[in-house]
Structure 1
Amino acid sequence: MREVRLSGYLKCKDGAEAALVLEYLPEHLALTRAEPGCISFEVAPSGSPLVWTVEEHFASSAAFRAHQARVAASVWGRTTSAIERDYTVVGLTD
């Protein structure tokens, strides 16, 4: 199994989007860190109040895909779907 790493940024366009991140991020972090195959998951403020750094590390492509599916169906996924993401994913296989 090949590990998958995602890194990049969550970029809010305004304070309203940033407020959504602040409100829903704690639960998103807890749920993701409890997922099978999650090695590490960090979303942290950057130097800008509108930008967060994102670092994800999963044990396999299957674990990463399961995470993505869970997120898409979650409150976090629905609430923050309009927020820009700029990510690079390494290690993902078919």
Structure 2
Amino acid sequence: MSKIILKGFIVVSDEDLQAVEGELPTHTKLTLDEEGCLTFKVTKSDSNPNRFDVYEEFVDRDAFNKHQNRVKSSHWGDVTINVERHYEIIE
């Protein structure tokens, strides 16, 4: 089994920015607590307040899929429903 890396960024509308920023610490903690999560970083851009750079590593595809499924049914999934996602997944 090979490690899965997701990297890229999200763009958050002004209307959703406060909710996303407010939920990010909880989302980060829950993700880092997931079995199989090696690294999880979401960093606000210095040059664009609506852009967040994302970098994730999971031990394998199964751990990554479990994370994706959890996120879809989480509060983070609700507050980020409208964000633009620009990701690359590397296996």
TM-score w.r.t. the length of structure 1 is: 0.92
Gaps (5+ residues) in structure 1? none
Secondary structure of 2:7 counterpart: strand
Q: Give the aligned residue type for 2:61.
A: S
TM-score, L = length of structure 2: 0.95
What's the counterpart of residue 27 of structure 1? 26
Q: For 1:74 and 1:87, locate their aligned partners in 2 and report how far apart those are by CA, in whole Å.
A: 20
Number of residue pairs matched by the alignment: 90
Match of 1:83 in 2: 83
Q: CA RMSD in A?
A: 0.8
Q: Percent identity?
A: 37
Letter in 1 for 2:27: H
- Shift >6 Å, 4+ stretches: none
Q: Report the AA paired with residue 11 of structure 1.
A: V
